[in-house]
Amino acid sequence: MTDPAPAPVPRALPLAALAALRPKQWTKNGLLIAALVFSARDGVSNLTRVDDWLLFIGAFTSFCLLSSTGYVYNDLRDAEADRAHPKKRFRPIAAGELTTTGAWVLMGLCFTGSMAVAALVGVPFVICALLYFATTLSYSTVFKHYVILDVMFLSACYLWRAVAGAVAIDVPISPWLLLCTAFLALFLGFNKRRGEIMLLDGRKSGTRKALDHYSPAMLQEFQAITTSGTIISYALYTVLGSPTPWLLLTLPYALYGIFRYIYLVDQRGEGAAPDETLLKDVPILLTVALYVATAVAVIVFAPHTGP
């Protein structure tokens, strides 16, 4: 195993506070846009409705602040274990750049700001955001230590994001959206655990309790199951549940993106931090861009024959 990377230059307090918010992981909240992209009213895509875009922006901002509240809380609880991790030891709280008091103040500011913005979106959205936050806290305090349940609770956070996006713009929550999101979240979650084990190179004790109960062979099986579920559920959605059957044109992008991600985990040891893996791999970024462009073009211009 290669030697751990040298410690970075200590950050000033504002930069340390920003790093503790994990802005790279705000990309996960992009899932809130799924309902806006794939839903329609009276045969007209919601992508053309300015009011819905404003609601989405508010919902996205609220979830970014709320998810950062959870990240800071998680890092505060795990500071000691993070110091034994080759990468997490550089997080602001574990590295001593952000004090316990500073972390609690930062959490309070983020949570208050999130709820203020959520209230502008609507009361149902506030309830959904609080349920997401409760799921995040239950993961950080309890379920992250239990094998399999840790990934399932992480996946539930993705589901709340998808639901919140629909609640924000007041459209029906599609069961297809939930099914595709659930399988994709499980796929990313189990690949994350596999990437973490590969990164630690067998040195699991002292970092995350649940990792002691995973093995590479078991995670490979989970990877195969969730890959199949993700592909099949999305393929069925494009044919049976989408606003237009022309959405089937996006399936090749979805297939390549999933296969590319597996390649990065298996051959390059990526996946321990899905946000970093997705943001730094050029082929995946191009695939996402092409997928979005194709999906938007199809949904806006193709005739709607589905729900």
What 3-state class would DSSP assign to 92? Answer: coil
Q: Letter for the amino acid at 276? A: E
DSSP 225-279: HHHHHHHHHHHHIIIIISS-GGGGGGHHHHHHHHHHHHHHHHHH---SSHHHHHH
Residue 216 has pLDDT above 80, yes or no: yes
Q: Lowest mean pLDDT: which of 87-91, 169-173, 202-206, 207-211?
A: 202-206
More confident residue, 212 or 133: 133
pLDDT at 204: 52
More confident residue, 301 or 53: 53
Distance CA 222, CA 216 (A): 10
pLDDT at 228: 96
Contact (CB, 8 A) for 33 and 288: no
> Half-sphere exposure of residue 2, counting CA atoms within 13 Å on the CB side?
7
| Domain segments of the chain as ranges | 13-173, 179-307
> Which residue do the tokens 């794939």 mark?
38
Q: How confident is the model at residue 198 (pLDDT cuts 50, 70, 90)?
A: confident
pLDDT at 307: 46
Token pair for residue 5? 């990377």
Distance CA 234, CA 250 (A): 10
Region 168-186 average pLDDT? 92
pLDDT at 91: 84
DSSP 96-136: TSS-HHHHHHHHHHHHHHHHHHHHHH-HHHHHHHHHHHHHH
pLDDT at 2: 44
More confident residue, 79 or 66: 66
More confident residue, 113 or 43: 113
Q: How many residues does the chain have?
A: 307
Region 109-113 average pLDDT? 96
Tens digits of per-residue pLDDT, 273-302?
Answer: 777 778 888 999 999 999 999 998 888 777
Q: Letter for the amino acid at 235? A: A
Tens digits of per-residue pLDDT, 217-270?
Answer: 899 999 999 999 999 999 999 998 887 888 999 999 999 999 999 999 888 777
Is domain 13-173 annotated with CATH 1.10.10.10? no
